[in-house]
Amino acid sequence: MNIRELKIIGNKKLEENNIEDSVFKAEKLLQYVLNMDKTELLINNEMLVDKENENKYLMLIDKLIKGKPLQYITNCQEFMKLNFFVDQNVLIPQPDTEILLEKVLDTINKIKQLREIKENRKQEKILVLDLCTGSGAIGISIKKYITDVEVYASDISKEALKIAELNAKNNDVQIHVINSDMLENIKIKFDIIVSNPPYIETKELEKLPKDVQNEPQLALDGGEDGLKYYKIIRDEGYKFLKDNGAILLEIGYNQNRSVPDLFRNNENYKNIEIYKDLSNIDRVVKIEKS
């Protein structure tokens, strides 16, 4: 069987089982099996595939059908134009989270400008905490794009932290990792706390697509109302912020009122801003320390 025929079979199997983006996933999986990029696959469309790789490809198609995420098969996800190793121990970074990153980078640059102009503290490093880091995608991307910040990445999962360390090494950056249940083991203050915490309501987990349900529940389950971890950040976060520090959070599509309201009712915070993602959905909340 040649590459073209194999792609058609893979796509058909995925379509028959109502797998979203079947064409993309069938092709991406074949790229992985044959160790080719998209262009090579196209150029070699009529190339015969040996029986071993043919069987491997069809076996992996079956894994997709059973709900295993493509990224856990290939162990790779692109985020902010960087490549990250992912497996069943970490949430798969999504494009929507790039909006959070952009706002963090903007905030860092504004802090740097203020220090240079008003405070004459140009040489003082900006400290950033990536809370609930998972794969490390947020913290590592921050360090990659603004090299003179100091990034700390924390997570309750030791397995996740090992992956974050691996991703830091693979992307040639240095970060500090901390094993911590939320802010429990954090000992210093930061200019910025950034987090994409678990925010799915517990009752909604079983309604998620099959492949998303195969991501770690620990990284998805936000408690009965989806606000469990935002409440912890509200109650404890200001204690770990420097003067004029800020918290930036990713939120769910239906949390554009509930999350900001949590912080509006706390005298330790001010200046709450909300930003939309590429689909025009409120996705990021920024809160400054009073």
- Specify the pLDDT at position 119: 60
Count CB neighbours of 17 within 10 A.
14
Per-residue pLDDT at 112 exceeds 70: yes
Phi and psi at residue 10, to the nearest 5°:
-60, -45
> Angle between the 158-170 and 137-145 helix axes, to the nearest 10 degrees?
30
Per-residue pLDDT at 290 exceeds 70: yes
243 token code pair: 């003067």
Mean pLDDT value across residues 214-223: 96
- Specify the pLDDT at position 120: 60
- Specify the pLDDT at position 123: 66
Q: Which residue has the tokens 């985020």?
A: 79
Mean pLDDT value across residues 17-38: 95
57 token code pair: 């490809």
Per-residue pLDDT at 89 exceeds 70: yes
What is d(CA 67, CA 50) in angstroms, rounded to the nearest whole number? Answer: 26
Mean pLDDT value across residues 16-39: 95
Mean pLDDT value across residues 25-35: 96
Torsion of CA 134, 161, 140, 228, to 10 degrees: 30
Residue 116 DSSP one-character state: I
Query: At 122, is the pLDDT very low, low, confident or very high (cuts 50, 70, 90)?
Result: low
Are 107 and 248 spatial neighbours (Cβ–Cβ below 8 Å)?
Answer: yes
Could you give the 3-state DSSP secondary structure of residue 188? coil
CB burial string 95-119: b at 16+ within 10 A, e below: ebbbbbbebbbebbeebbeebeeee
| Distant-in-sequence, close-in-space partners of 139: CB < 8 Å, separation ≥ 6 | 128, 130, 133, 151, 152, 153, 164, 175, 194
Residue 207 DSSP one-character state: G
**For residue 97, which of 180, 219, 204 has the smallest C-alpha distance?**
219
> Angle between the 3-16 and 51-65 helix axes, to the nearest 10 degrees?
20
